[in-house]
Amino acid sequence: MTMDRRSVLGLGGAIAAGVALAPGLHLIAAPPAPTAASGTGKRWAMLIDTTKCSADCTACTKACRAENNVPLFGDPQRDIHWIRKVELKDQTLRRPAVSLPVLCNHCENPPCVHVCPTEASFIRHDGLVLIDKHRCIGCRYCIIACPYKARSLVFHKTRPAKDANPKVPIRAAGVVEKCTFCAHLIDEGKLPACVEACAKADKGAMLFGDLNDPNSEISQRLRKEKSQTIRADLGLNPHVHYQGI
């Protein structure tokens, strides 16, 4: 390729002008997408009043299994639990035993996400801690990292039951799964299945809502009433709050 004198001078001039002007140019940044962490998006959280929860009621766990197609294999060591009922007993017997549901706490600083080698566990924009099962390799680091025992590995292959919910996938063996706060229902503007079931069973122990909205019922109740989280000392900032424990 040959260039004549005019185009060489022109090119040189253009480069010189570019070098002179470039430091003064500012690219227009797109406004950041709303996220839970920045306070601009939603931040889903749950408040569970254990005084309204009774030991004999399993409405939430049953509803969860039905909604999310979570099977029971009958092997306690390998069963999958997204939400489970736990009984707290005071060793001094001064206080009565408390029954409460324990599920994924959707922490703000989730250790499970921190340890995941494939970034299969991640924090969604609305603060939900979810698992991308397409990426999960089943290493189980997250199960070890989670202080709430919220995660389970799928040891068995499953087939969809006849009355399976078609909106939620069944599971492949060898991936980890846990409570999603029923993300598919939240996206449709509905409540998680356990919260619905709790209200239907006339317990009303579970309240679900947006913490970033100061006028939501959960925000107001958390401000006014006393509540606590499990293992608050770990600094994970979990988003399942409990009353009466």
Partner 1 sequence: MSLIGRRRERQPYEMQEEREVKSPTSWAGRWSRAFLLVFVLFAAWIAAPLSALADPPQPEKAVRGPCVRDAEWMRRNHMDCLKHKREETVREGKAVPTESFLSCISCHPSKERFCDRCHAYVGVAPNCFDCHQYPK
Which residues make up the interface to partner 1 (CB under 8 A)? Answer: 122, 124-126, 128, 130, 132-134, 160, 164, 166-167, 169-172, 183-184, 187
Nearer to partner 1, 100 or 130 (CB): 130
| Cβ proximity to partner 1, 4 vs 187, nearer residue | 187
C-beta of 186 vs 245, nearer to partner 1: 186
Nearest Cα neighbor of 210 from 27, 47, 4 is 47
Q: How near is the Cβ of 105 to partner 1 at its closest, in Å? A: 19
Closest CB 129 distance from partner 1, rounded Å: 12
Confirm if 219 and 210 have CB atoms less than 8 A apart: yes
Q: Considering the complex, state which of residue 49 and residue 126 has its C-beta at the smaller distance from partner 1.
A: 126
**Cα–Cα nearest to 202, from 52, 46, 49, 51:** 52
Instruction: State which amino acid sits at residue 211.
Output: L
DSSP per residue, 102-154: EE----SS-HHHHH-TTS-EEE-TTS-EEE-TTT-----HHHHH-TT---EE-
If you count DSSP H runs as helices and E runs as strands, how many of each does the chain have, helices first? 7, 9
CB of 172 to partner 1, least distance (A): 4
Read off the tokens for 153: 């590995």
Cβ-based nearer residue to partner 1, 87 or 187: 187
Task: Measure Cα distances from 177 to 14, 125, 138, 180, 218 in Å.
Answer: 57, 19, 10, 9, 27
Least distance to partner 1 from the beta carbon of 187, Å? 6
State in angstroms the smallest separation of the CB of 128 from partner 1. Answer: 8
Contact 82, 72 (CB under 8 A): no
Cβ of residue 61: shortest distance to partner 1, in angstroms?
A: 22
84 or 184: whose CB is closer to partner 1? 184
3-state helix, strand, coil in the chain (%, to 5): 25, 15, 60
Instruction: Give the tokens for residue 98.
Output: 């408390």
Nearer to partner 1, 49 or 177 (CB): 177
Shortest CB 88 distance to partner 1, Å: 34
